[in-house]
Amino acid sequence: MCSVCRPGGLLIPAIPSPLLSIHSLQGDPVYGTLLMFIYGFGAGLPLLLIGHGLARLQHVIAAPGHQRRIRQLSGLLLLGVAVYIIWLA
């Protein structure tokens, strides 16, 4: 299995969408609408919760003393991801 298609990869959320669309168009429109709503709610709710949690932590994250460490950690994380992608290629 490719690294992008692994669980937690980039393509996993995009795979059910066309299958769900085809299934919702072939049957009962009310059932299809309900399926699409539940899928959208399940895909969007974690993003809303993460955004709400980060908004509550903004006063801690935005403190000037922490900004330098956060930038350093973000830079190391970005370099780590770049090395990982190159290593996979």
Q: Where are the domains of the chain?
A: 1-56, 63-89
The per-residue pLDDT for range 16-66, each reduced to its tens digit, is: 667 666 766 677 778 877 877 888 888 788 888 887 877 777 776 666 777
* Angle between helical axes of 16-26 and 29-56 (0-180°, round to 10): 150
The per-residue pLDDT for range 67-78, each reduced to its tens digit, is: 788 888 999 999
Question: Rounded to an integer, what distance in angstroms lies between the CA atom of residue 43 and that of residue 48?
Answer: 10
